[in-house]
Structure 1
Amino acid sequence: MANKTRTSKRPLVLSSIILAMFMSAIEGTIVSTAMPSIVGDLGGFSLYSWVFSGYLLMTALTILIYGKLADLFGRKPVMIFGISIFVIGSLLAGLSSSMTLLILFRFIQGIGAGAVQPIATTMVGDIYTVQERSKIQGYLSSVWGISAIIGPALGGVFVQYLNWAWVFWMNIPLGLLSLIGISLFFHENLEKTTHDIDYKGSALLFLAISSIMIVFIEGGTAWGWTSLPIILLILLFLVCFSLFIIQETKAEEPIVPLAVWKKPLIAIANSVNLTTGVIMIGLSSFLPAYVQIVMGEPAVVAGFTLTTMSIGWPIASTITGRLILRMGYRPLAVIGGVSLIIGGCFFLLLSPSKGPVWAGIGSFFIGIGMGMTTTVYIISIQNSVDWKLRGVATASNMFMRQMGNSVGAALLGGILNKRLNTFIESEGAGSHLSVNSANAVLSGQKSHFSSRTMSLLREGLTLALHTVYIAVFIFAVISLILILFTPKQSIAELDNENH
């Protein structure tokens, strides 16, 4: 077992952890703002969602494995490995010459990010006491918002004045600084014991999640929902997931200890993270496209609409960290859920005439909801388990967020493609237009199509993106319903239950 790393230089370790989380957090919004330019340069609009879902898929697949490895072998080696892989993936992504290569390198980034996100949060849980943890986790949660404040704007600047490759290359110095700090200043003591790693469970989880992800991405577009490939993939998911559950009940050291999921608080927390993950990716992936294509605003303005979410997030996280000892988990979680509903309403009513300010206000309320729910649930989870399970419990919560992001990117991307394709067919333009024709709108290559065709494509994208935000609102409603089932427990009651 590791001690609480009392010999670590906590301010320097915390700074290094924040750098790593900053690097991981900024990746979402800065890439989102640059995506129209990337697609306009590399083509492949039908693969749009894969740039996000490929990265998120690998993060989701590895996050639980890293969490378990951190409990077995310590936080430090796992964290160093993850940051190194992320930096390599970032370097390669900026060198991409095609959409296929970009997606491949995003997979590599995702493998690294799977370690960065949960282990950073777990390390903070290790080096700070229960009383300190609420405030520090509030700060750490707000890093996702604070880092994203400059992400959209910086993405717009890179696209407008430099090159989209810099949205990836900027991670390199951040990662190197974080590596140096963790290597030099974070110390932990571990008992040297032999461990039985659950490779079979990991493989089954990989196959199950991969198959269902492909269903969401390609269903209704490349393949019909009742086609043989889709049916086979669904069967593969059901078989592999069932075998995975059986494997976890038999494994000596399961990759996902099912006992953790039996705690009502953790079950609700993880379920909410799944649905809010869909909401988050719905904004970060598709809002810049809406503002740039439908509203006709430049990339910097599109970045502003995401920046407001990033302002609301740290404000809510900081306030939640300070109030949670006094108010408890449930009231703050409910307030966060109501904020998600308010933000969802703004996007449900979003139209080109309302302009980017309307979208920015909606993003702000979503940020409030995300900041409150994220902070509430990560603190509650870490207070409800001991050191030996803290890594995997934290990872399970992060895993569900990534699954929400992954499923959301795939599902919402599928909705976008399907709705656009249906519109093109309904207008009788299917013979000379396709989903990939949207590349022309994104790149501004108006010479390839007549003004009427460009107008048709823009109208189709407007309808398709509106459909995406209907889905976002539905997930906001589901999130609030789940939040209402949060157990009424105080920190003291969780500590007593844990011990």
Structure 2
Amino acid sequence: MLITGLIIAMLFGALDQTIVGTAMPRIVGDLGGLAYMTWLTTAYMLTSTTVVPIAGKLADLLGRRVVYISGLALFMIGSALCGTAQTMDQLIIFRGFQGIGGGIMMPMAMVIIGDLFTGAERAKWQGVFGAIFGLSSIIGPQIGGWIVDALSWRWVFYINLPIALIAIAFIALGLAGHERHERVQFDILGILTLIVGVVSLLLAFTFGGKDAPWTSWKILGLFALTVIALAAFVWAEARAKEPILPLRLFRSRIFVLINGVGFLMSVGMFGSIMFIPLFLQGIAGISPSASGTAMTPMMLTVMLGSIVGGRLVTKVGVRTQTVAGMLIMATSFYLLTHLSVHTASWVVTVYMIILGLGLGLVMPLLTIALQESFPKTELGVVTSSSQFFRQIGGTFGMTILGAVLNARSSAQLTDALGPFLKQAGNNPTVAHIQSMITTNAQGLYSSLLSPSALAQMPAAIRRAVVPVLKSTLVDSLHSVFLIGMLFVLLGVICALFLGRIHISNSRAPRAKPVAE
């Protein structure tokens, strides 16, 4: 009963993110606010990422049942509010509220799996749960399209309500008796300083280089606030009786290395995957739906790798499998640095299949290794830390590699198109291209490699500009994938120092952290 509830909750929580992406055009058409569309994702990301480590600690203090059901209830209420939104501002606020519930839900399934099973059993189950995330990426856009076409975008959120009620019922019954009743001292100062620090950091990454220059007072102020808040967080954690993220965990070599691998893996993974559709649509010339189809085999191999990896780790060990998976990922990035304007989309799909296999082998291991290295009294906080550092790594990767693409492409476009643009005179299209080169090269690629934008461009300018755009885009993406590969190779180095992590077959709780 409990496993059924966990699968239902994890599947609909993961599906929500891909389904909402499909519904965004209809949402904007109904509510307006095109300029704020990305905030539907950003608001959810800010709140869900920030609450993950808090949820993990609360699960250790209060018990799994009350925390998990609270997260499901908040997610359900947030979904209902999103469905009733009348303006884009309301929807953004409600998505942030929904993200609080999502951030509580995300680590809890893995925490409970850690409670229920031995290390060897846990590896198999976490492989299955990793496959669920892959499955949601495949079927989510299709489900979202069906819901929007048959009903309305509001049902993208309303559909969560009956599913959440079913999950709550199964989990409430399955976790009966899993509460803690002793008096708890909450680390209020730690919670507040962590929220301020993480939100400021994520906002700086979100706005930096796009909405404001990296050297502007807004971005520098956000980074300064991040440093001050996180310094206050460290001070608070050193004095708290029940710290949200105990500083002594960072004295553990395994804790630092495993979370380092997760961070570096996510930098490469999220930061690079987001640019593959740009190549498929802009260079290979396939449609957005076809580019999504081209990515599907990668998600299938993530699922396969997660399931196989969960069974293989007991035979080859955590360190060996982590190193192998990260090297497979690095191989994929290396192959991606050899893309050209003539590369067929099926070749890109093969490279992404290799990437998916590496990801599938590594992702379930990170949580297992942490859970096997710490006592069950700290299972919540160490499990949520893995999710937290991976999400921060993904945000960091998208920002850094996006900046690399913009800087590299701007320099190349200036060199390649400068003489032509000077000769073309004062044509409004030319003036627009000149301004985009220096301010938003990614936007230039996105706009000029769309059929409508190309149709509006004078033929002479189109013949001169488009080939240059394609060649410089490919060269710039080579830099992105190379940097992504370097981050993954840093993860390989971290994994080499892991040492031997024993995957137990015993149900006896670990009494203390592993010796370091």
Alignment TM class, shorter chain as reference: 0.7 to 0.9
Percent same amino acid at aligned positions?
31
TM-score w.r.t. the length of structure 2 is 0.81
Secondary structure, counterpart of 2:326 in structure 1? helix
Of residues 62, 82, 92, the one that matches 1:73 is 62
CA pair 18-142 structure 1, distance change in 2 beyond 3 A: same
Question: Aligned residue for 1:402?
Answer: 391
- The letter of the residue matching 1:244 is F
Contact 1:36–1:289, Cα closer than 8 Å, also in 2 = no
Distance (Å, rounded) in 2 between the aligned partners of 1:129 and 1:16: 20
- Structure 1 residue 13: deviation in Å? 1.0
- Structure 1 residue 438: deviation in Å? 7.2
CA pair 136-492 structure 1, distance change in 2 beyond 3 A: closer
CA pair 280-441 structure 1, distance change in 2 beyond 3 A: same
- The letter of the residue matching 1:396 is S
Distance (Å, rounded) in 2 between the aligned partners of 1:414 and 1:180: 46
- The letter of the residue matching 2:500 is K
Question: Aligned residue for 1:472?
Answer: 484
- The letter of the residue matching 1:205 is L
Is residue 117 of structure 2 the alignment partner of residue 117 of structure 1? no
Aligned-pair RMSD on alpha carbons? 3.8
Question: Aligned residue for 1:391?
Answer: 380
Question: Aligned residue for 2:15?
Answer: 26
- The letter of the residue matching 1:87 is M
The structure whose Rg is larger is 2
- Structure 1 residue 367: deviation in Å? 1.8
Distance (Å, rounded) in 1 between the aligned partners of 2:118 and 2:24: 41
Is residue 363 of structure 2 the alignment partner of residue 374 of structure 1? yes
Of residues 457, 462, 480, the one that matches 1:450 is 457
Question: Aligned residue for 1:346?
Answer: 335
Unaligned stretches of 5+ residues in structure 1: 1-11
Contact 1:61–1:206, Cα closer than 8 Å, also in 2 = yes
Number of residue equivalences: 488
Question: Aligned residue for 1:488?
Answer: 500
- Structure 1 residue 398: deviation in Å? 0.9
Contact 2:11–2:132, Cα closer than 8 Å, also in 1 = yes
Of residues 295, 318, 339, the one that matches 1:329 is 318
Contact 2:120–2:505, Cα closer than 8 Å, also in 1 = no
CA pair 92-162 structure 1, distance change in 2 beyond 3 A: same
Contact 2:330–2:488, Cα closer than 8 Å, also in 1 = yes
Question: Aligned residue for 1:306?
Answer: 295
Unaligned stretches of 5+ residues in structure 2: 422-429
* Alpha-carbon displacement from aligned partner over 1:406-434 (angstroms, at most 9, x marks no partner): 32344445556666777887766455765
Secondary structure, counterpart of 2:177 in structure 1? coil
Distance (Å, rounded) in 2 between the aligned partners of 1:77 and 1:390: 16
Secondary structure, counterpart of 1:276 in structure 2? helix
Distance (Å, rounded) in 2 between the aligned partners of 1:90 and 1:442: 35
Q: Which has the higher contact order (CA 8 A, sep 6+)?
A: 1
Distance (Å, rounded) in 2 between the aligned partners of 1:404 and 1:127: 29
Matches within 5 A, 1:226-375: 226-282=215-271, 285-375=274-364
- The letter of the residue matching 2:182 is T
Contact 2:212–2:218, Cα closer than 8 Å, also in 1 = yes
Stretch of structure 1 that moved more, 408-417 or 274-283? 408-417
CA pair 183-445 structure 1, distance change in 2 beyond 3 A: farther
Question: Aligned residue for 1:7?
Answer: none
CA pair 239-306 structure 1, distance change in 2 beyond 3 A: same
TM-score w.r.t. the length of structure 1 is 0.83
Secondary structure, counterpart of 1:354 in structure 2? coil
- Structure 1 residue 67: deviation in Å? 0.6
* Alpha-carbon displacement from aligned partner over 1:377-413 (angstroms, at most 9, x marks no partner): 2111111112210011101111111112232344445
Secondary structure, counterpart of 1:226 in structure 2? coil
- The letter of the residue matching 1:178 is A
Secondary structure, counterpart of 1:491 in structure 2? coil
* Alpha-carbon displacement from aligned partner over 1:343-371 (angstroms, at most 9, x marks no partner): 21233333453233222222222222222
Stretch of structure 1 that moved more, 48-57 or 63-72? 48-57
Distance (Å, rounded) in 1 between the aligned partners of 2:212 and 2:77: 34
Is residue 164 of structure 2 the alignment partner of residue 175 of structure 1? yes
Contact 1:46–1:417, Cα closer than 8 Å, also in 2 = no
Stretch of structure 1 that moved more, 481-490 or 243-252? 481-490
Distance (Å, rounded) in 2 between the aligned partners of 1:295 and 1:85: 43
Contact 1:281–1:409, Cα closer than 8 Å, also in 2 = yes
- The letter of the residue matching 1:473 is M
Contact 2:271–2:399, Cα closer than 8 Å, also in 1 = no
CA pair 343-44 structure 1, distance change in 2 beyond 3 A: farther
